[in-house]
Structure 1
Amino acid sequence: MRPNLRQIEAFLAVAEAGNFSRAAAQIGMTQPGISQTIRELEGLLNLRLFDRTTRRVMLTAAGEAFRLGAGKSMEVLDIAVAEAKDQSTLRKGFLRLAAPPFLAATVLPRALAEFQNQHPDLTLEMTDTTTAQIMERVANGQADLGLGTFPPGKQGLGSRVVLRDEMMCFAKTGSVMPEPLGLAALHSAPLIVMSASSALRLPVALGFESAGLHLAPAFEVEQIATALALVEAGLGLAILPGYARAWQGRGVVAHPIAGPLMRREVQLIFAADRSLSPAATAFATHLTQSLRKLAP
């Protein structure tokens, strides 16, 4: 059986104070209580650690040897406790984030910069990659959090919705748009939509289906930035999530679509079998607040 922490603390306090009463007061014990604790420790070690006189308590040779090792152990423990407290208060730690390229290029830089300013001692890492790779990195522990729109039934992954936004129509600046702008009007225009492999395609397809219209896009692309570049070139209208308004000011303007509403969710995913670090928990809250400013 090993000595417990209370026994070690009591031993070191008596060794330093040279007196049971003073040592007891230092660590919040009674004099009988600390005496009993030392007796239990000596019994456990089968060693006499102190020579007791009416005037002073002195370490034996065995006690001196034990103090050397016990003192070093407590120093290591104190360092470990300080490190843990630093992580819990975000004075230390790291955060690894994976996100799709458009979010990584538009929304995340400002959110990460604000978070870094609030917690300058944290180490932040970001990887921009595909949805499938985001899920893989989070599942295997290469990323603490993944941001994006993900398919349902993500085995081994938990999720938290950080934004619910509406799909909007993105047109070249200066384009004359009907009001209200319904799907019937969009149906007759050259449309730019995300490819069938993208989670952003489903709400658009469901919206057209509920309106009794056939979705026949002129362009199908993998990246939001590509869709917006095509809009800017005057090649059509794009139906994209509201947060793509971060691109506005580059020759593209977002217009609300008058029903049926097409909504999608932006989620943070994480490994379901691992607890989030304090840094990841804090960033999830910060990002939720930051992204909701982009909602239509």
Structure 2
Amino acid sequence: MRPSLRQIEIFLAVAETGSFSAAAVRLGMAQPGVSQAIRDLETLLTLRLFDRTTRRVLLTEAGAAFRADALESLAALDRAVAGARDRAALRHGSLRLAAPPFLAATVLPRILAAFGAAHPGIALRLTDGTTGRILDMVRGGQADLGLGTFPPGETEVSRRTVLRDEMLAVAAADTTLPDRPRWADLADHPIIALSPSSALRLPAELGFDAAGLTLRPAFEVEQIATALALAAAGLGIAVLPGYVRAGLTPGVIARPLGAPVIHRELALIHAAGRSLGAPAQAFADHLTQSLRRLAPVS
């Protein structure tokens, strides 16, 4: 059985004042309560901690050694409490984020910079990778948060939607497109699509299917940046999510696709069954607000 924190505090007060009555005054206790607490502590430790005289209470050799160890333990506890409060107040801590390459290169640097400026004590780490790698890192505890478009039914992760935007038709500026083209309007254009391994391929397939068309890409690529570059070169129309507006270059147009409107969700995930630390929770809120300035959740 361990001594209670209150017993340790009473012991230290007696050791410092050299008096049961003075310790009682300091602690706001009755003197008999202090005496009983010391007797209980000595019984628990099977040690005599104080020699009592008519004028003074003196530490025994064992009591002096116990006092030194108790002071060290309380100092460690104080440091632990201070550290926990610092983490709760975002003065210290860390955040590990995994995200797709395009978001990591375009949107996230500014968002991370703003968060870091507001919380300079938080160490930030960003890893870019595929959807599969992001999922593995979050499940395995190598990332606190993962950002991306994830297939439904993924296990071992909890998710929250941080952005729900429309699919876009992205093309060179001299391409003739209505302000809000229908999917059927793309029928006579070469299409630049992400590969079937991408979670962003499905919304494109759904749009063409709803228009009674079959998606037959002229180009299939792995990276959004590659699709944008091909579209900018006039090689076709890229079908991409709305957040690519953050990385558009001069000479490129982006039109929201309608008839039908196909939405795509950007989600933030963390390991299921694990509570988010204060830095991760604060960043999740910051990220959600920042991304929704690009497009509101509808």
Band the TM-score falls in, shorter-chain normalisation: over 0.9
Partner of 1:67: 67
Task: Report the equivalent of 1:111.
Answer: 111
- Per-residue CA distance 1:162-185 (angstroms, 9 max, x = gap): 111111111212433224411111
- 1:120 corresponds in structure 2 to 120
Q: Give the whole-Å Cα distance in 2 for the aligned partners of 1:234 and 1:124.
A: 38
Aligned residue in 1 for 2:255? 255
> How many Å separate the matches in 1 of 2:180 and 2:125?
43
Distance 1:290 1:260 in 2: 27
1:227 to partner: Cα distance:
0.6
TM-score of the superposed pair, with normalisation by structure 2: 0.93
Matched-pair contact (CA < 8 Å) for 2:180–2:255: no
The residue correspondences of 1:158-169 to structure 2 (distance < 5 A) are 158-169=158-169
1:138 — aligned with what? 138
User: Against the structure 1 CA distance between its residues 220 and 22, is the aligned structure 2 distance closer, same or farther, given a 3 Å change threshold?
Assistant: farther
Partner of 1:203: 203
Q: How does 1:8-87 map to 2 (within 5 A)?
A: 8-27=8-27, 29-53=29-53, 55-87=55-87
Q: Does 1:229 align with 2:232?
A: no
Q: 1:141 to 1:28 in 2, by over 3 A?
A: farther
- Determine the C-alpha separation between the residues in 1 that align with 2:98 and 2:179: 38
What's 2:102 paired with? Answer: 102
> Over aligned residues, Cα RMSD in angstroms?
1.8
Instruction: State the Cα distance separating 1:29 from its structure 2 match.
Output: 4.4
CA offsets, 1:131-178, max 9 Å, x none?
Answer: 111111111111111111111222222222111111111121243322
Whether the 8 Å CA contact 1:203–1:264 is kept in 2: the answer is: yes
- Shift of the 200–27 alpha-carbon distance from structure 1 to 2, 3 Å rule, reads farther
1:294 equivalent to 2:291? Answer no
Instruction: Mark the CA change 1:192 to 1:33 in structure 2 (over 3 Å): closer, same or farther.
Output: farther
Gaps of 5+ in 2: none
The CA deviation at 1:244 is 0.3
SS in 1 for 2:204: helix
Do the aligned residues in 2 keep the contact of 1:187 with 1:215 (CA within 8 Å)? no
Show the counterpart of 2:267: 267
Count residues in correspondence: 296
Query: Residues 21 and 236 of structure 1: is their aligned pair in 2 closer, same or farther, counting only changes over 3 Å?
Result: farther
- In structure 1, distance between residues paired with 2:180 and 2:47: 89
Q: Secondary structure at the match of 1:23?
A: helix
Deviation at 1:53?
4.4
Distance 2:257 2:30 in 1: 74
Do the aligned partners of residues 269 and 24 (structure 1) sit closer, same or farther apart at CA in structure 2, a change above 3 Å counting? Answer: farther
Q: CA deviation at 1:279?
A: 0.9
Match of residue 188 from structure 2: 188
Q: In 2, distance between residues paired with 1:20 and 1:218?
A: 89
Q: Secondary structure at the match of 2:39?
A: helix
What do the CA deviations read for 1:58-93 (whole angstroms, capped 9, x no partner)? 322221121011111111111122122111111111
Look up the match of 1:279. Answer: 279
Stretch of structure 1 that moved more, 194-203 or 44-53: 44-53
Change (3 A) 1:107 1:18: same
Superposed displacement of residue 188, structure 1: 2.0
Q: Describe the SS at the equivalent of 2:176.
A: coil
Distance 1:40 1:279 in 2: 43
SS in 2 for 1:293: coil
**What does the per-residue CA deviation read over 1:238-260, in whole Å, with 9 as the maximum and x for residues that have no partner?**
11111000012343222122221
Please list, as runs of the form range in 1=range in 2, the aligned pairs for 1:147-166 lying within 5 A after superposition: 147-166=147-166
C-alpha distance in structure 1 between counterparts of 2:43 and 2:145, whole Å: 51
Identity percentage of aligned residues? 62
Superposition deviation, residue 30 in structure 1: 4.5
